[in-house]
A and B are shown apart, each in its own frame.
Chain A
Amino acid sequence: IVLAQSPGTLSLSPGERATLSCRASQSVDGNSLAWYQHKPGQAPRLLLYGASSRATGIPDRFNGSGSGTDFTLTISRLEPEDIAVYYCQQFGSSPRTFGQGTKLEIK
């Protein structure tokens, strides 16, 4: 399953809302879709799984939605620490695949 993320880069101001899209080439089984945050030099961090369930310790500013082939990660009230590349990933079919990432910049 090929995952296409958009936009490639998103530049927003602190306090604004970010909306990141992930579109799958075919339906993702059981909403087996996850989102990760990857900051330079750090380990990637799981944010959301099952399309909308937050992982341990993830603040409620991060929300996921969608089903089938269209999924969205919304980050509300942006903070400077949210600078990162965000990846979607499907784990319902083999091989597990990632999107190419959306780079979030804070103005």
Chain B
Amino acid sequence: QVQLVESGGGLVKPGGSLRLSCEASGFTFNEFFMSWIRQAPGQGLEWISHITGSGKTRYYADSVKGRFTISRDNANNSVFLQMDSLRAEDTAIYYCARLYGPFDYWGQGARVTVSS
């Protein structure tokens, strides 16, 4: 069965960096786009980035463009989110999701807190 497991969350100071990882299993990884979606405390869901199966093309929400970088390692069935210049408003649970039209499978999420 499809499984997505995020890791790398934690507490970071404003202006700092963090790298999230998502390990996938149960499907042919390089055939699917992969996404990151976040949920800030008390808020709804926000798509922030996705990457094509080959890794050649990446898309970002305006709220993170220039600060976050999505990448993938198809040999190890993993997708990453490098988050730089973090702000308090980036505090959220970050979900990895497989993109196949809708987001058809999701991980349990990684909590990121940006605070001094």
Contact = CB atoms under 8 A, between A and B. Distances in A.
Contacts of B97: 44
Interface in B79-116: 95, 97, 101-109
A32 B44 CA distance: 19
Number of chain B interface residues as a range: 10 to 19
A32 B103 CA distance: 12
A43 B46 contact: no
Contacts of A55: 104
Interface in A70-103: 87, 89, 91, 94-101
Interface residues of A, number: 23
B102 A91 contact: yes
Contacts of B62: 95
B109 A87 contact: no
A91 to B, nearest CB: 5
A34 to B, nearest CB: 4
B45 A44 contact: yes
A100 B61 contact: no
Contact of A43 (B44, B47, B101, B109): B109
Interface in A5-54: 32, 34, 36, 38, 42-46, 49-50
B47 A97 contact: yes
Contact of B106 (A43, A49, A96): A43
B32 interface: no
Contacts of B27: none
A43 to B, nearest CB: 4
A46 B102 contact: yes
Nearest to B43: A100
Enumerate the 7 nearest inter-chain pairs by beta-carbon distance, A residue then B residue, closest first. A34-B102, A43-B106, A98-B45, A49-B102, A100-B44, A96-B47, A44-B106
